[in-house]
Amino acid sequence: MSSPHPRSLAAARRLAAALRRVGDSSVAAEIARRVDDLLVPRLTTVEAPLLVVLGGSTGVGKSTLLNSVTGHRVSRDGVLRPTTRVPVLVHHPQERSALSGAGMPPGVELCGDDAVPAGLALLDSPDLDSVETHNREIAADLILAADLWLAVTSPARYADAVPWAQIRRAAARRGPMAVVLNRVSPADAETVSAHLAGLLAADGLGEAPLMTVTDQTVVDGVLPASAVAPLRAMFEGLAADRELRTTMRRASAGGLAVELAGQAEQLAAGWLGHDAASTGDDVSEAARALAREAGEGT
């Protein structure tokens, strides 16, 4: 068993307590909730199933990819946009209890499926740039909760401002990330993939692995197994490597700690010179302590 991280854990709890003392700030309460529900479990359950989130614009084929990886329709795909309304978390049936208390985002529909390798939980998200307010509201929690963010995009969408902003947000949270260029025609695959790789590198994201899935006929919601073989191989590789998963979950926790500490500091900075200044000092000090512990290797 890997040990928990007593100093980061204590710093996280101290920040949540300082935020709760603030009183009637809904932003402070929201950050405290995320510390308690998303960060603390990541610090205490490093060996829980790795949360892999498929994120991206509506219609890029997230649900179809997930269904294709399992080989059957687990998450509803469709032509009506947006199709996925609630995050669907697909996991190995024997790991359901390991998911409780492991920092999964709120409001997910759990679905056990033998085709998901143990050690991973795959989350099909609603489109995160949605016209639907509710979808946009859960987007932030999903980005924060992901142990591995799979940014799914397509030749039609990858250069658009909104999906790109989402890739940047996920990168800013400093957790492990990979990019899937989906639905690309075999003839264009090389050119489009090189262009996307160039854009990622220009944004400092050149280290994120980039995978290409070519456009093929969908039958009963599923692409041919060969189309998603690289994705499936990545999942199986992660499932087989417990040490790598633990390292990724630690990296995810570290990135999340720095992100939430930054949000808390920003909030406290707004109180300087006001009545809440001394409460703000507590929050700010607790946030800096958490960022320091996280920076020293969660």
Ligand X SMILES: Nc1nc2c(ncn2[C@@H]2O[C@H](COP(=O)(O)OP(=O)(O)OP(=O)(O)O)[C@@H](O)[C@H]2O)c(=O)[nH]1
- Residue 263 found at the interface with Mg ion (CB under 5 A): no
Residue 183 partner contact from Mg ion, ligand X, none using kind-dependent CB cut-offs of 5 to 8 Å? ligand X
Q: Which residue in the block uniquely carries the two structure tokens 């790598």?
A: 244
Q: What φ, ψ does residue 150 adopt, rounded to 5°?
A: -100, 105
Residue 219 partner contact from Mg ion, ligand X, none using kind-dependent CB cut-offs of 5 to 8 Å? none
Residue 147 partner contact from Mg ion, ligand X, none using kind-dependent CB cut-offs of 5 to 8 Å? none
Q: In the chain, where do the E strands start and end?
A: 50-55, 88-91, 109-112, 120-124, 148-153, 177-184, 210-214
Among 8, 25, 63, 130, binds Mg ion (CB under 5 A): 63
Residue 79 partner contact from Mg ion, ligand X, none using kind-dependent CB cut-offs of 5 to 8 Å? ligand X
Q: Which residues contact 49 (CB under 8 A, 6 or more apart)?
A: 91, 92, 95, 98, 99, 102, 118, 119, 120, 121
Rounded to whole angstroms, the Cα distance separating 45 from 196 reads 35
Residue 232 partner contact from Mg ion, ligand X, none using kind-dependent CB cut-offs of 5 to 8 Å? none
Integer Rg of the chain from CA? 19
242 token code pair = 């417990």
Cα–Cα separations (whole angstroms), residue 90 to 117, 200, 221, 239, 242: 10, 29, 16, 14, 19
Give whichever of 78 and 93 is closer to ligand X, judged by the CB atom.
Answer: 78
Give whichever of 12 and 181 is closer to Mg ion, judged by the CB atom.
Answer: 181
- Residue 252 found at the interface with Mg ion (CB under 5 A): no
Task: Provide the binding-site residues for ligand X, judged by CB under 6 A.
Answer: 58-64, 77-79, 81-84, 126-127, 183, 215-216, 218, 223
| Residue 60 Cβ vs Mg ion, minimum distance, rounded to whole Å | 9
| Residue 91 Cβ vs Mg ion, minimum distance, rounded to whole Å | 18
Q: Are strands 177-184 and 120-124 parallel, antiparallel or unpaired?
A: unpaired
| Residue 160 Cβ vs ligand X, minimum distance, rounded to whole Å | 14
Q: Would you tell me which residues interact with Mg ion (CB under 5 A)?
A: 62-63, 83-84
